[in-house]
Structure 1
Amino acid sequence: MEENNMKNFANDFENIVAEVKKQIVGQDEIIQNVLIGIIAGGNILMEGAPGLGKTVLVKTFSKVLDLPFSRIQFTPDLMPTDIVGAEIVRKDKDQLSFQFEKGPIFTSLLLADEINRATPKTQSALLEAMQERTVTVGKNTYILEEPFFVLATQNPLEMEGTYPLPEAQLDRFLFKLKVVLPQKDALFHMIDISTGEKSLEIKKIATKEDLLEMKNTAKKVPIAANIKNKAIDILMSTHPDQTHIDLVKEYVQCGTSPRGMISMISAAKVKALSEGRYHVSLEDLYSVVLPCLRHRMFLNFKAMADKVSTDEILIEIIKKVK
């Protein structure tokens, strides 16, 4: 790759992040990871208590990237047809015909707000679109335009009115990001943004075409054999029958899928380019392990009783693999 292209990627990445940070303060790492996930072509799940700005973050990205945007507020009575659309009967004179009315899923950036407040049947309506970028209704299959990705928010499962997402759906998210309360100085700045007299103007920094070009650029980044081997070692270390790590053997019920390994490689490529490098380092790989794998590894009841988290186990895996 030419040096200019590499600089352009890093500059565009930095400009997009800087514009989003005008609206969202105190969440710099989350903003960067969301953009990494978008460029890597994946879906992103953000978990956090209500009121931490998850929905505002997604809306801000839609403005900065100038993407077609739809929002679905997930509730217990939401139906699959409310997401994908439905065939309706139309009468023209004496003739009756079926016509497909597209749902909000036909967009580029889909905000699935509080996704774990809907029933599993409704959540499953997203599965085909999230993985294959297609929607099947009846006998017809519709192709979603690129780029398409789902940015979903969810409340912690211990809160009332939430349903755990199916494992198959969790595996279709490239990242799971944990949104926490910002620091005091960020909260101070948040007051000025939210209650100030001047309205904040968010500018368009990139277009759909720019985003697709960045995505294609990231795909072309070469990966050294030792990086691939480390990604495989990390994947295998999450499986109790494939590792000697005590924490994994004691607390993990099911390890991560190969899709998790592919997610790590894709995200590490974008991470390297965002820092102006056309090679992926081991640190790039290690930096994306937690967001890529924390939702793909399932713990047993002993882990719940001992209050052991997937992040603790993944940090131990990284130490052993290093």
Structure 2
Amino acid sequence: MSTFEQIEDLRTRMGNSIIGQKAVVERLIIGLLADGNLLIEGLPGLAKTRAVKAMANNLEAEFGRIQFTPDLLPSDVTGTEVYHQTKDGAEFRFEQGPIFANIVLADEINRAPAKVQAALLEAMEERQVTVAGTTHKMPPLFIVMATQNPIEQDGTYPLPEAQMDRFMMHVRVDYPPVEDEVEVIRLVRREEQAKNQPKSKAANAPKAIPQSAIFDARSEIAQIHVSDAMERYMADLVYATRTPAALSEDLARWIEIGASPRASLALDKCGRAHAWLSQRDYVDPADVRAVAHDVLRHRIALSYEAQGEGITPDMVIDTIISLVALP
């Protein structure tokens, strides 16, 4: 089985577990292949946690889940030095926290105080944590997928703009169509029935996809061709968020702060991953436009005027895409 077929198999398996959320599954795959962290936002019950678990369950990967709460401590995430008494004397040993996994689910990340968010930040960006002056490296395959609930305000700590920028993509999860919701009911019923079946019948479960498939896919994605014109197009889209007055008076009123250079890097990585999934060896404008909303929506700060008019980041991005010239 080729590398592409293995990744497609992963996407199919996830799609079988997450009914009606094909776009979300695709974004999770893109984030995995682009080696970036994801922020997944949606109302309760829309399978955010289930989607991340479905990915971990179908990969040869260690899964770690951190349920964020207001009383969480940084050591609850990173681990801590523990005192041990041995026959040779006393010593401190580092006990790893749940962050030391391949796929980490940071559930309801906006419920954690600033210190915990900062501890997670180092692991996300530097792929390491420092405890008691000692640096501990994360595994080669490491990705944080954080979820947050957009409607609850009580007991939450909104993520600061600087930390939001560390996420490669901000994925929105919406309600599924009613036809898909019927399939969700049937899927959960089948899972309940399967639990009561003899264990021997579960022996035919497909083998987990090896981590090597992810690294092989990343090597192929690194070779995807990006023309000079496409590089300029990606940079123009990001630059438009910083100089909105050059495109439109409305954009100038709506945008308070534009996107950082991390947005350009994310467009390049995610665009190449999208092209690879489309079985092309080059990036075209459709690839960039397909990921632009997920890459930019959390990097644009809207003015009070825009918020008062009911303007959303996605509406701003739609306007930018319509006004920036194609290569």
Range class of TM-score, shorter chain: over 0.9
1:73-104 Cα deviation digits (max 9, x unpaired): 00111111000011122222583322111111
Q: Secondary structure at the match of 2:94?
A: strand
Counterpart Cα distance in 1 of 2:248 and 2:125: 32
CA contact (8 A) 1:119 1:163 kept: yes
Counterpart Cα distance in 1 of 2:173 and 2:232: 31
Of residues 196-205 and 88-97 in structure 1, the stretch that sits farther from structure 2 once superposed is: 196-205
1:198-252 Cα deviation digits (max 9, x unpaired): 3287644521111111112111212100100001100100014773332331021
Residue type of the alignment partner of 2:228:
A
Match of 1:307 among 305, 310, 315: 310
Q: Secondary structure at the match of 2:194?
A: coil
CA contact (8 A) 1:268 1:280 kept: yes
1:77-133 Cα deviation digits (max 9, x unpaired): 111100001112222258332211111111110000111111122111111111111
CA contact (8 A) 2:244 2:255 kept: no
Match of 1:268 among 257, 271, 288: 271
- Residue of structure 2 equivalent to 1:195: 189
Q: Secondary structure at the match of 1:273?
A: helix
In the alignment, structure 1 segments of 5+ residues that lack a partner are: 1-6
Residue type of the alignment partner of 1:226:
A
Counterpart Cα distance in 2 of 1:204 and 1:159: 42
| 1:295 equivalent in alignment to 2:289 | no
Of residues 162-171 and 53-62 in structure 1, the stretch that sits farther from structure 2 once superposed is: 162-171
- Residue of structure 1 equivalent to 2:199: none
- Residue of structure 2 equivalent to 1:231: 234
| 1:30 equivalent in alignment to 2:33 | no
Q: What does 1:1-322 align with in structure 2 at a 5 Å threshold?
A: 8-93=2-87, 95-156=89-150, 158-196=152-190, 198-199=193-194, 203-240=206-243, 243-322=246-325
Distance 1:38 1:66, change over 3 A: same
Q: Secondary structure at the match of 1:168?
A: helix
- Residue of structure 2 equivalent to 1:4: none
Offset, 1:159: 4.0
Counterpart Cα distance in 1 of 2:15 and 2:75: 35
CA contact (8 A) 2:124 2:166 kept: yes
User: How high is the sequence identity, in percent, across the aligned residues?
Assistant: 35
Counterpart Cα distance in 2 of 1:143 and 1:83: 14
Distance 1:204 1:304, change over 3 A: farther
Distance 1:203 1:73, change over 3 A: farther
CA contact (8 A) 1:264 1:285 kept: yes
Offset, 1:39: 0.4
Q: Report the TM-score when normalising by structure 1.
A: 0.93
Offset, 1:14: 2.2
In the alignment, structure 2 segments of 5+ residues that lack a partner are: 196-201
CA contact (8 A) 1:40 1:215 kept: yes
Of residues 257-266 and 83-92 in structure 1, the stretch that sits farther from structure 2 once superposed is: 83-92
CA contact (8 A) 2:130 2:136 kept: yes
Counterpart Cα distance in 1 of 2:132 and 2:306: 43
Offset, 1:302: 1.6
Offset, 1:156: 0.1
Residue type of the alignment partner of 1:272:
A
Offset, 1:253: 1.4
Of residues 275-284 and 95-104 in structure 1, the stretch that sits farther from structure 2 once superposed is: 95-104
1:23-66 Cα deviation digits (max 9, x unpaired): 11000011011101110000011100111111111111001122
Distance 1:185 1:35, change over 3 A: same
Q: Aligned Cα RMSD in Å? A: 1.8
Q: Report the TM-score when normalising by structure 2.
A: 0.92
